[in-house]
Amino acid sequence: MKLFVGLGNPGASYAGNRHNIGFMAVERIATEHGFSGWRARFQGQVAEGMLGGEKVLLLKPATFMNLSGQSVGEAMRYLKLTPPDVIVFHDELDLAPGKCRLKQGGGHAGHNGLRSIHAHIGESYGRVRLGIGHPGHKDRVADYVLSDFAKADAVWREDMLAGIAEGAPALARGDGAGFLNTVAQRMAPPRPPKPPRAPKPADEAKSAPPTPSAPPAPEPAPKGALERLLERFKH
């Protein structure tokens, strides 16, 4: 069994925030893969379903971001899971908008939700880092992450969430490369093949078969002795 955790803040006023992209990711997975309805459990909201042959529990902590670890720790202990069975979807300031990366273990890089999870279950869980970009200065970070996505972000955000949902079965199976490839294809779909180039006039001239030349005129037959004698008398 896997525990997929989306990080965010509960309540309608936070629903469109950049900080809530983790919530958005697990909500899209639930919708696209026919998970059960959301219900209150483990100090949060949960939905159950199957991905890639694995039973998966989706969790949205309702403790607010800074206390996310309380909800994650309770769920993990009840389900008798280990940290590597847990994958957390969260916003990432250090990635450009639309970039998606995987990470197993390591530090929390100052992210308050991850900091709380570290305190409750350690650091060896998996993360899906969802790039939202950086506002440019650390003093602007709090307002930036707690602000709604700009309208211009709608296209890449939709593509990213669609790719996450499509690749979720691979992620549940442990195929991280397959998951990232699916997201990448959604973000930058393959270009259609170029149509064949129309031939230029010069190319047409080169490829045209050569025009046959006229056969040479036959040479006149040599004159006989009688004809030569008559010509002498003409002069």
CA distance 57 to 50: 9
In-domain check, residue 91? yes
What pLDDT is stored for residue 208 in this prediction? 61
Bridge pairing between strands 44-51 and 39-41: antiparallel
- Domain total in the chain: 1
CA distance 175 to 38: 26
In-domain check, residue 228? no
Distance of CA 44 to the CA centre of its chain: 28
In-domain check, residue 223? no
In-domain check, residue 229? no
From start to end of 76-232, where are the E strands?
Answer: 86-92, 100-104, 126-131
| Helix H or strand E segment including 48 | strand 44-51
In-domain check, residue 124? yes
Q: What is the mean pLDDT of the chain?
A: 90
For 130, the domain range is 2-187
Which pLDDT tens digits describe the chain residue by residue (235 residues)? Answer: 999 999 999 999 999 999 999 999 999 999 999 999 999 999 999 999 999 999 999 999 999 999 999 999 999 999 999 999 999 999 999 999 999 999 999 999 899 999 999 999 999 999 999 999 999 999 999 999 999 999 999 999 999 999 999 999 999 999 999 999 999 999 987 666 777 776 666 655 566 666 666 666 666 656 566 666 566 655 5
CA distance 129 to 89: 6
In-domain check, residue 64? yes
What pLDDT is stored for residue 194 in this prediction? 72
Enter the pTM of the model. 0.81
Indicate which CATH number applies to the domain containing 125.
3.40.50.1470
Percent of the chain with pLDDT over 90: 79
Catalytic (active-site) positions: 19
Burial class (CB within 10 angstroms; exposed 0-12, middle 13-18, buried 19+) of 117 = buried
In-domain check, residue 213? no
CA distance 75 to 103: 21
In-domain check, residue 225? no
What pLDDT is stored for residue 195 in this prediction? 72
Structure-block tokens of residue 202: 């010069």
- CA of 7: how far to CAs of 31, 184, 186, 188, in Å? 17, 22, 22, 26
